[in-house]
Amino acid sequence: MDRLKLVLQYFQSNSESISNGICIILSLISVKLYTSFDFNCPCLPQYNKMYALGVMFVPPIILFLLGVLVNRHTGVLMEEWVRPLGKRTKNPAVVKFLLSSMLQRSLLAPMVWILMTLLDGKCFICAFSMNVDPKYFTGIPNSTGIELIKIMAKVPCKEDVIFKNSSFRKAVSRYVRCYSQAIGWSILLFFIFLGAVGRVLKPCFNHATFLQTRYWSNYLDIEQKLFDETCVLHARDFARKCVVQFFESMREDVTVRMPLSSAFRPSTIHNEYEEEEEERLHGITRQDQVDHLLQTWYECKPELDVTRMAYKPKVCITWEDINGKALFSEV
């Protein structure tokens, strides 16, 4: 239990680790799915190829779509792409970066499935046993009226009666499986080579721009998360205040409420909780304000400039001697 907590903590430390973790989990799921899947070649000439290629390609498509769905970056990417311009310029490089990182992660689980089918060989044998030329192999069972192609189509099925006491089936299977493994290894080598070359060469091109793009896509992710959190907190305080107001309005005593000037208001009247609550509400206290806020967040995103709130001009004092040479300066 503790170990799981530790692993979870490590993966939640930042958003990228979460995506990596999900990616790895999907690959493990795909491995487990493959090993537990009961491959059942029909051993009929018309259906072999369809079945085998279906098993090889349909689950990867499902896994890819699942990977795209589960990835957080998909939402951020789509929102950034389709939003109106508002007060914030759009940076196409950020969209491209998010897209490529999302695609890379989503492609891992499908690739694992495809490689496993190739290395295992069953799909290939099922699909391509009919394309093998039998004259290279000895011991072909005496065709008891069955056509050659039907015999070849039965090769993937071990238990078929025509192959008893014959090494023909095993030889053909080995041959086709050897091809399948060779293709699997080459594909794996190709992708790993591509990955290594990409890793080595990427900093050589536009690295400074890449640092910027990476920062801003990380920023968009954080901003969306924080916005959701702020909205949730706001909703909670709004609800609480609304309920309290409702109860107070039902009170039977008539109370005349008069605003007291803030200079006379002792600070002990507001308790800390209410102050915190008011701050969390940020002045948004009506339904139409909330609606307007949420609408504007999409249609007119604010600009990336917090100078208004965070800017405090500093006074720089320099003490100079008679020659104008600075002796002491505060910055």
Angle at 203 between CA 198 and CA 204, to 5 degrees: 95
Cα distances (angstroms) measured from residue 251 to each of 45, 158, 295: 83, 84, 36
Query: Applying CB under 8 A, does 207 fall inside the site for other proteins?
Result: yes
Distance of closest approach, residue 251 Cβ to other proteins, in angstroms: 28
Applying CB under 8 A, which part among 74-82, 110-118, 204-212, 239-247 lies near other proteins? Answer: 204-212
Q: State which of residues 174, 242, 243, 298 lies at the interface with other proteins (CB under 8 A).
A: 174
C-alpha span between 168 and 152 (Å, rounded): 10
* Binding residues for other proteins restricted to 269-298, rule: CB under 8 A: 272, 275, 279, 282-285, 289, 292-293, 296-297
Cα distances (angstroms) measured from residue 47 to each of 51, 101, 114, 174: 6, 38, 20, 22
* Binding residues for other proteins restricted to 223-262, rule: CB under 8 A: 223, 226-227, 230, 234, 262
Q: Contact, 221 vs 265, CB < 8 A?
A: no
Distance of closest approach, residue 9 Cβ to other proteins, in angstroms: 10
Burial of 212 (0-12, 13-18, 19+ CB in 10 A): middle
Applying CB under 8 A, which part among 45-53, 143-151, 243-251, 320-328 lies near other proteins? Answer: 320-328
Q: State which of residues 149, 222, 243, 260 lies at the interface with other proteins (CB under 8 A).
A: 222
Q: Contact, 39 vs 55, CB < 8 A?
A: yes
* Binding residues for other proteins restricted to 73-132, rule: CB under 8 A: 119-121
C-alpha span between 278 and 192 (Å, rounded): 55
Query: Applying CB under 8 A, does 4 fall inside the site for other proteins?
Result: no
Distance of closest approach, residue 66 Cβ to other proteins, in angstroms: 24
Query: Applying CB under 8 A, does 323 fall inside the site for other proteins?
Result: no
What φ, ψ does residue 286 adopt, rounded to 5°?
Answer: -135, 160
Residue with tokens 């008011």: 278
Residue with tokens 């536009």: 206
* Interface with other proteins: number of residues (CB under 8 A): 83
Distance of closest approach, residue 292 Cβ to other proteins, in angstroms: 6
Q: State which of residues 251, 310, 322, 323 lies at the interface with other proteins (CB under 8 A).
A: 310
* Binding residues for other proteins restricted to 9-48, rule: CB under 8 A: 10, 14
Distance of closest approach, residue 47 Cβ to other proteins, in angstroms: 25
